[in-house]
Amino acid sequence: MASKYAFPQQSPPFSPNTTERGIATMYHPGVGSLRFRANPNEFNWSYTLNKRIDQTYGGRVVQLLGTKIDDFTFKADCGIGRWAYMNKVAKFMRDVMVVQCALSGLGRRS
């Protein structure tokens, strides 16, 4: 089975228009990219490693199977973008969460 992701993971080229500025861009393959109007003031996230540990005759083997982002927060100024810009950022983050849940199977009901 072919891998979904290739390394290094890089966002596609971005062509800014006259209404957007700033440097920071968030990209998700299922959602697209969001370019901040100005660089965010703060980013914080915590994560949990999904791993498997096996004891063998030769020693301990640790397999890193993946990671799960637990909390992800950022602080950014809306400036003259006001409500429309804040709403755009909130909808982008919502869409990322929906796609992540769908990919991980959390959106399915038993």
**pLDDT reported for residue 108:** 53
The per-residue pLDDT for range 55-66, each reduced to its tens digit, is: 999 999 999 988
pTM above 0.75, yes or no: no
- Domain-embedded: residue 49: yes
Q: Same domain, yes or no, for 60 and 80?
A: no
- Residue 32 host element (H or E): strand 32-35
Q: Same domain, yes or no, for 84 and 99?
A: yes
How many distinct structural domains can be found in the chain?
2
Rounded to whole angstroms, how far apart are CA atoms 41 and 67? 25
Q: Which residues of the chain have pLDDT under 70?
A: 1-22, 104-110
Give percent of the chain above pLDDT 70.
73
Q: Which domain holds residue 29?
A: 15-41+76-110
**pLDDT reported for residue 14:** 55
Rounded to whole angstroms, how far apart are CA atoms 5 and 27? 14
**pLDDT reported for residue 35:** 82
